[in-house]
Amino acid sequence: MTFLVETQGLCKEYSRREVLSDISFGVESGEIFALIGPNGAGKTTLLRILDLLDEPSSGTVWFQGVEVSYSPRNRQVLRRRMGMVFQQTMLFNTSVFNNVAYGLRVRGINGKDVRDGVEEMLRIVQLEGFEGKNALKLSGGEGQRVALAQALVTEPELLLLDEPTANLDPRNVSIVEEALSRINRERKTTIIMTTHNMFQAEALADRAALLMEGRIERIGKLKDILMLPSKVLTKFARLENVFSGVARISEEGVSIIDVGDGVQIEVALQRHGNVSVHVRPEDIILSTQPLISSARNRFEGRVSEISDLGSIVRLKVEAGKGFTVQVTKKSFNEMQLNLNSTVFLAFKASSVQIV
């Protein structure tokens, strides 16, 4: 198999401190690949090496089956086939139009082709009508969308994104995610992105690599990585529905965990003593009527928070403990939910993971 991008034994040192160690993985053409891990794990350093901004201390990078040379001429040629969006936007003190058009103009493209390209990208990131505004006077979310349009307008084969939605409000997050999904689907653009947002990675990425202290610990489908969450993963990944309590084994052979405030959670494992558990928001069934279900865990509560994320809606439900639940926009509308709506939750004992 020939990957669009591949690394073999990649290492990077700064001042004799090893930042990356023996990084080997490949990303197929048209794939969305997520790099997840805590701050300091080496995610941004790895992106900079893939973007040819930094050179590895050892190891090799391959692009379309050809080993990458770090000569100035080769860097220039390859980087024109890539796009990079940094966590901190890097825009020029000029109009939105000129910012997005920059990559086309340095490639010698002018006139109608520039106008058409810029207009299409601004439609994709939902910034129509912003052409004449100064890019540095936009909100953080709008600026990030300009940076994304700037990277995409040259139709890169590979798009590199460093925490593309960090610190953005839900509306801007939804627009960026929709734009990335569309570009990947329609243009088959290969995307490698770093993120702390596990739900975003699971929704967008085909596969992911977990980086810890400069090494790849796991690689595969996001849902498989999250099925076995470690304590370290729980700390950095912003996992929700993590509860701690005291477990006892029931006569039926399952564990019952008292997590306080009158809430007990059943787990399809046998555990004694102190334990922490995690329930994925998408594994919780939500209803406006009492549920008749084989699920061992059933609770009644009220909606305390609602976050509209585009095609999905995430709700915080107070049911003794605070549960985060994820439903489709269609289901949310059909249930006609509002703040303080009474709802019923259910999830299987087998859906509860020990962390």
Q: What is the pLDDT of residues 306-337, one digit of tens each?
A: 988 777 888 999 999 999 999 988 999 999 99
pLDDT value for 338: 93
pLDDT value for 13: 95
Which of the four CATH numbers 3.90.180.10, 2.60.15.10, 3.40.50.720, 3.40.50.300 does domain 5-228 have? 3.40.50.300
In CATH, what class is 240-354? Answer: mainly beta
Distance, CA of 38 to chain centre: 13
**In the β-sheet with 66-67, what is the strand arrangement from edge to edge?**
17-27, 5-14, 58-63, 66-67
Low-confidence ranges of the chain (pLDDT < 70): 1, 226-239
Residues of the chain with CATH 2.40.50.100: 240-354
Residues of the chain with CATH 3.40.50.300: 5-228
Question: CA 333, 335, 337, 343 torsion: positive or negative?
Answer: negative
pLDDT digits 0-9 by tens, 224-252: 776 655 566 666 666 688 899 999 999 88
**140 phi-psi bin (left φ>0, alpha ψ -120 to 50, beta other):** alpha
Per DSSP, 136 falls in state G
pLDDT value for 93: 96
